[in-house]
Amino acid sequence: MKKSRGFSNRYSLSLLRRNKEAHDNNKGAKDNLGLVLGNFCIANNIPVQTVADHFGVSRRTVYAWFLNKWKPRNKHVVDITKFIEAYKLDQDNDTNISENTSK
pLDDT tens per residue, range 3-34: 444 444 577 888 888 888 877 777 655 568 88
The answer to whether residue 98 scores a pLDDT higher than 60 is no
pTM, 2 dp: 0.70
Q: 3-state secondary structure string, the chain? A: CCCECCECCCCCHHHHHHHHHHHHHCCCCCCCHHHHHHHHHHHCCCCHHHHHHHHCCCHHHHHHHHCCCCCCCHHHHHHHHHHHHHHHHHCCCCCCHHHHCCC
Predicted pLDDT at 93: 64
pLDDT tens per residue, range 37-80: 998 998 898 999 999 999 999 999 999 999 888 999 999 999 99
* CA-closest candidate to residue 3, choices 47, 49, 42, 39: 42
